[in-house]
Chain A
Amino acid sequence: MIKHLFKLVWNRRRANFLMIMAIFFSFLVLFGTISVLVNSWQNYKKPLGFEPERIWYVNIQHYQTPKDEVRVISEQLVRKLQTLPEIEHVALASGNAAYSGWSNMMGLTRGNLQRGINNVTIQGGDFKSTMDLNVVEGRWFQDGDEFSNQNPMVITQDIKQFFFGNESAAGKKLKSGDKEFTVIGVIEAYRTNGELNSDAGTFMRVSSLADTSRWVENTLYLRMKPGVTSGIEEKLLKEAGSVATGWKLDVKYMDQMRASYMKENLTPLLIFAIICAFLILNVALGIFGVLWYNINKRYSEIGLRRALGATANQIYKQFLGEILVLATLGLVLGSFFAIQFVLLDVMGMQPEVYYYALGISIVMIYLLVIVCAFQPSRQAAAIHPALALHEE
């Protein structure tokens, strides 16, 4: 029977060509959209590594304060903030946090392995407690690390996997140019590109404000106590101003930063999905219309088949089968092109994303044509043979 269906479709190839093309293009659009969605979803599922709730992200502008004074005042500012009752934890570090739009990449090597990695410098306060980081191996920084000639570093789990596989990383060395770092601990994650984007991994190091060879980091991370509202911002700025006269503290709330990041990143996805849904709906309606017309045109063929001993059910299956064969032809063609995309890695995603997307798109196209063909095929099966064969 399947051979018979292929024959029918093949012999009607000219009439079917446009339908196959429509299925082919819808498949490509669907595949592209679903790849993007699956990619985002897979990123979203991975742990973020920190807790953005109740974090205030404060950018400092020192203006024309001399550099030496900046170091002293920054230190005083961190200490002052730690004493405020509304604040749980404070840290001074580089500003390349998630949702900030900043990045700071640095190449790390070990033997032949090489990778550009986001790098966070911590200069004061307690960054681990502030961001609620999760140490999974080794230890976090402790006092004195900022002066150690071993250049201690903490890396994220994905970096550890990349350089050390399943071995333990603690105590091992990584190089950047001539400088050698010692891994002292591994944290679960610290994704600076946000939850919807992929991430190159992060390593962290500490430096002292007293070290004049390093520049002064200008971002404060404040973990507020639960229940603290934005209403205390003015008071907080006054307290800060009493130490850091003339500086500007630009306060942003990380949950708001996160919300607008989500909005910015989800909207294109949503637009993509809506456009894709529209195109698919368009094609579905078209397939439905054409099938419906085809069945009217093949009225007498249906009557004949019934006369020759086909049951209503067999007619139903035949029409459904034909459209499935058509869909299969479109999908084979589509998958061929889709696989080219994957091999050329046009969209730069993990291979498994493409396989998921391929599978989902194929299933969706089949479901779509089955839904479209359901009613016309039922109609075909209901045709009364005596009437269909009636001679004019």
Chain B
Amino acid sequence: MITLSDIEKVYQTKTIETVALQRVNLAVPKGEFVSIMGPSGCGKSTLLNIMGLLDVPTSGVVTIDGQPIKSYKDKELAHIRNEKIGFVFQSYHLVNDLSVLDNVELPLLYRSGVSGSERTKLAKDALEKVGLSARTKHFPNQLSGGQRQRVAIARALIGNPAIILADEPTGNLDSVMGEEVMNILLDLNRNDGTTIVMVTHDENMAHKTERLVRFFDGQQVSDSKVFDLQTV
């Protein structure tokens, strides 16, 4: 579903050159739920940004849904992000001035040929999936953290993306809410076959996924099926 081949990312300032990613090769097949772990500054956020086409690699090729990304023109990237990728962030990034329903509708706003009524219907469906159909008229600041993250997941789902990229989705939540959000993601993966890549700090959460990739200093240090690890 998503393949990174020989990805390198180097940040250059006037005085120093920082290597964020070094020859990363990673393939995530369709329907897989992958966790990425590593200490702060290991480059996992950069990796997620490159996978999500929010950042441009210094070298290497990203292939999404069988299509290698050749051109990094703003318009084309925006189009691919909109069609193929859903994002979930640690701090939710909901637009405070929009209602829950409007927040969920956002991705469809940037897709041509979706009518207003269709948008509303899809948004309601997505909210139902995350168990928030009663909260469509609320505003984000009227919701708890867990609810907010569920809204964010609904937003990631609505465009029916090939892959969901989640950046520490439970990082701001207490364990109960974290569990709730994690279960939604697991359900999506199991029931709908959604491909998910999740960056996390939480070993417990990571162990619930099928596969765990560890990063250190911009390099992939291990890649294992979770049950293997558990058996070791």
What total of A-B pairs shows CB separation below 8 Å? 74
Residues in A neighbouring B155, C-beta threshold 8 A: 308
Q: Within 8 Å of chain A (Cβ to Cβ): is B81?
A: yes
Q: Within 8 Å of chain A (Cβ to Cβ): is B107?
A: yes
Determine whether the beta carbon of A307 is less than 8 Å from that of B116.
Answer: no
Q: Within 8 Å of chain B (Cβ to Cβ): is A210?
A: no
Q: Identify which of A4-12, A240-248, A280-288 touches chain B.
A: A4-12
Chain B residue, CB-CB nearest to A300: B93
Cβ-neighbour of A308 out of B45, B55, B81, B116 (below 8 A): B81
A290 CB to nearest chain B CB (Å): 16
A contact patch SS: helix
Determine whether the beta carbon of B93 is less than 8 Å from that of A3.
Answer: no
A190 CB to nearest chain B CB (Å): 63
Q: Within 8 Å of chain A (Cβ to Cβ): is B215?
A: no
User: Contacts A1-B109, A308-B87: A303 and B45 contacting too (C-beta < 8 A)?
Assistant: no
Residues in B neighbouring A311, C-beta threshold 8 A: 74-75, 78-79, 110
Chain A, interface size category, equals: 20 to 34
The CA of A307 and the CA of B89, in the complex, are separated in Å by: 11
Residues in A neighbouring B116, C-beta threshold 8 A: 3
The CA of A310 and the CA of B168, in the complex, are separated in Å by: 23
Chain A residue, CB-CB nearest to B49: A386
B200 CB to nearest chain A CB (Å): 13
B209 CB to nearest chain A CB (Å): 20
Residues in A neighbouring B52, C-beta threshold 8 A: 307
Residues in B neighbouring A390, C-beta threshold 8 A: 45
Determine whether the beta carbon of B82 is less than 8 Å from that of A309.
Answer: yes
B232 CB to nearest chain A CB (Å): 31
Residues in A neighbouring B89, C-beta threshold 8 A: 304, 389, 391
Residues in B neighbouring A303, C-beta threshold 8 A: 93
> Which residues in chain A, 1-26, are within 8 Å of chain B measured between CB atoms?
1, 3-4, 7-8, 11-12
Closest 7 CB pairs of A and B: A309-B82, A311-B78, A386-B54, A309-B110, A11-B97, A304-B93, A386-B55
